[in-house]
Amino acid sequence: MARFAATLCVVILSGFIDLTAANKDTCDLHAVVGQSLTLPFVYEELVNSHVLRWTHNRTIILYRQGKVSIGKLEDLSATGSLLLKNLQYSSAGVYQAQLLNPNGTLAKAWSGRLCVMDKVIKPQLVYTCDPKSGAVNLNCHVAKPQNWMFSWTLNEKTLTSETRPTLSISLTRLKGEMSFTCSVENKVSKEKSDTVRPTCKSPPPAPTICFKSKTLVAVLAGGAGLILFMLIIIIVLCICHIRIKTQMRRRHGGEMAMLSLNKRVPDSEYETILPTEDSPPLRHNSSPVACYEKVSQPEAQTENRPAQPSTDAAAEPSPVPKPRTKSPHMPNI
């Protein structure tokens, strides 16, 4: 009855262990295809009276109770660990070990997931020069990578931020001789490529103009002075232009005034003297001949008498002589 209870307890415990191992997403153990691996189970007080059982995915692969009835005795160590030889992909899975005391109680249990994978292949490092982008492109080539991890070294110093299979370096950083290597690894192996030294030509540096602080201040001051000088010249030219334009307007206005005045003046050289209010009215029927006859007759009669003033001459004013007008058609004699 006691043995039946112990066996039932072991079965329940083994089922719990299987459920726990199945829920794991990661592998506890990693191995390379074709290699051997010892499962880490150690019980120092192991004796032949103990019952030891190893299972792989719930299949018994070793059972010993005094003697080994399933499996090979040479695969079992003195502490109860199990040696797996020539591992294959089918060897991956959940392994469990259960050790029972002679009275049927559980002495020790162990469970772990094993992952079997290929050994990494030595990568081939190649590079190409790209003058257009000014960079050198490196490629760490491996055949059929299986979630492998990549790493890079520059002059034997690891580039911790680079974990991709490709690497791009600016040609401006390639000063002197620089060496590159790439490595690929998984949980069980690691391989490193040969050293490569790119020989790409760096692009010519872009021309840069560097000024000292004093030179820069002098250039800025000179530029500001030149701008101020040009502004002064522009202002002076504008003032001169305004003055010249004003003078031309005044001169043009004077010429227009003289022209209008000339139009009002008559063509005759002299102006006709018009009588005023105080001057006596002129007689239009008087002529110089008649006047001469009137004067000459009294003078002839009174030649021997004292001269008397003429009342007509005193009463009538002398006619105003008219100015002579030059005829443009008569030739000068």
pLDDT in tens, 244-297: 988 888 887 777 777 766 665 554 444 444 455 554 554 444 444 444 444 444
165-207 pLDDT, tens digit each: 999 988 887 777 789 999 999 888 899 999 999 888 765 555 5
Q: Is there a single domain that holds both residue 32 and residue 12? A: yes
Domain hosting residue 23, numbered range: 2-117
Q: Is there a single domain that holds both residue 57 and residue 29? A: yes
CATH classification at residue 176: 2.60.40.10
Q: Is there a single domain that holds both residue 103 and residue 130? A: no
Q: Is there a single domain that holds both residue 172 and residue 98? A: no
Q: Is there a single domain that holds both residue 94 and residue 44? A: yes
Q: Does residue 245 lie in a domain region?
A: no
* pLDDT band at residue 312 using 50, 70 and 90 as cut-offs: very low
List the single range of 80-94, 187-201, 319-333 with lowest mean pLDDT.
319-333
Q: pTM of the predicted model, to two decimals? A: 0.49
Task: Give the mean pLDDT of 14-39.
Answer: 70
As beta bridge partners, residue 108 has: 99
